[in-house]
A = this chain, B = another copy of it.
Amino acid sequence: MSIRKIALLTGGGDCPGLNPAIKSATKKALLHGIEVLGIRDGWKGIVEGTQEYLMPLHADVVRHIDRQGGTILGTSRTNPFKLDKGPEKILANLKKHQIDALIAIGGEDTLGVAHKLFSEHKVPVVGIPKTIDRDLGGTDYTLGFESALEIITDSVDILRSTAESHARIFVVEIMGRHAGHLALRGGISAGASITLIPEVPFDLQKVCDLLAARKARGIRYSIVCVAEGALPKQGGEILASGEKDAFGHVRLGGIAEWLAQEISARTKLECRSVNLSHLQRGGKPVAFDRRLGFYLGIAAVEAVLNKQFGMMASLTNGKIVLKSLSEAVGALRLVNVKEAYDQVYYQAKRSILGVQEV
């Protein structure tokens, strides 16, 4: 049976790079005479399967989208396996709309669903990895990561003028609840003095000591990059919002706000926090994400043409290859702290506190 119609969907948090992948997959499929159907709002759209969730993708529809962030298909966090007969509805809708194969663009949750649909229900699906967290297995890159790094780097550049004018410390909160890839590389790109990641619980007093030592050496300001999921060694367990922390302070907002308060209290230095929040995942894709979106979109359609289902287009060792979805979603990919220390941190003894403790 040859492929005559495919469907595309995007799931989970949006990011720059989705639209380039949608464009290239669409154009590649059209080149091979394959019809392309966009599914709106992630897995929800194909569970529902009604007309409002279907968006035929022609060349004209995708022509301009590679310059836009987000996803023209919309997205949701719907997990069909948590819905009554979710997988069955998907199967029925694939059949109803004569969809021969499905390309799912997403992170751990979305591709986890894709993997289960393939392995448990024989759905002919191919994945494309995206997440600014870069915490998927089976690939060295996930769409959106480089664009997020660029915004982080630009934002820290912006904060430096105030940090320097006021001789202040800035603590910048970066996305990443479990994995520190974005904070780690954001910290390197932005030239942070200290980077704190979830993989390495940090010693609050050492952070403060380092900042005080920098000040004593005549350095006017410091930048601390902290992943939202980073925790101090002591008291980390009670950092819930509104509660008192191990130091007897009411915890407000995120880790950066808490950390800035602690640093101010302990060092008597002026310290402020900024949470980059949703700014990190929006905006237009940088050139790197446009290209990677193109490459991965093409590779996914080639996998469909070759009926290599259950696979994911991947960047591995600098090459575009296919990896199994099971490898992608098997385990959350965390920062390899030892490797990071060995390869990257020239100033590890002083600057990267978490990593220093390894």
A146, A151, A253, A279: which has the most chain B beta carbons within 10 Å?
Answer: A279
Residue contact A31 to B347, C-beta cutoff 8 Å: yes
Specify the chain B residue showing the minimal Cβ separation from A273.
B277
Tell me the bound Cα distance from A288 to B159 in angstroms. 20
Stretch at the interface among A1-9, A63-71, A81-89: A63-71
User: In the complex, what residues of B have CB within 8 A of residue A301's CB?
Assistant: 346
The interface residues of chain B lying within 8 Å CB-to-CB of A241 are 252
Check if A146 sits within 8 Å of B14, measured CB to CB. no
A354: which B residues are within 8 A, CB to CB? none
Residue A309 at the chain B interface, CB threshold 8 Å: no
Q: Closest approach, in angstroms, between the C-beta of A24 and any C-beta of chain B?
A: 6
From A151, which residue of chain B is reached at the shortest CB distance?
Answer: B158
Query: A290 near B164 (CB under 8 angstroms)?
Result: no
User: Once the chains are docked, how many angstroms separate the CA of A347 from the CA of B23?
Assistant: 11
A202 at the binding interface (Cβ < 8 Å): no
Give the residues from 255 to 278 in chain A that come closer than 8 angstroms, CB to CB, to chain B: 272, 274-275, 277-278
Decide: A287 and B159 in contact? CB cutoff 8 A.
Answer: no
Complex CA distance for A295 and B242, rounded to whole angstroms = 41
Q: How many residues on the A side are at the interface (Cβ–Cβ under 8 A)?
A: 83
A92-100, A110-118, A313-321, A330-338: which lies at the interface = A313-321
In the complex, what's the smallest C-beta–C-beta distance from A214 to chain B, in angstroms?
11
25 residue pairs bridging A and B, Cβ less than 8 Å apart: A14-B161, A66-B191, A67-B157, A67-B160, A70-B162, A70-B164, A74-B165, A75-B165, A140-B318, A146-B287, A149-B288, A151-B158, A152-B287, A157-B284, A158-B283, A186-B287, A188-B291, A189-B291, A242-B250, A252-B252, A274-B278, A275-B275, A275-B277, A315-B318, A320-B343
Which residue numbers of A lie inside 8 Å of B, CB to CB? Answer: 10, 13-14, 16, 18, 24, 27-28, 31, 41, 63, 66-71, 74-76, 140, 146, 149-153, 155, 157-162, 164-167, 170, 185-186, 188-191, 219-220, 241-242, 250, 252-253, 272, 274-275, 277-279, 281-284, 286-288, 290-291, 294-295, 297-298, 301, 315-320, 343-344, 346-347, 349
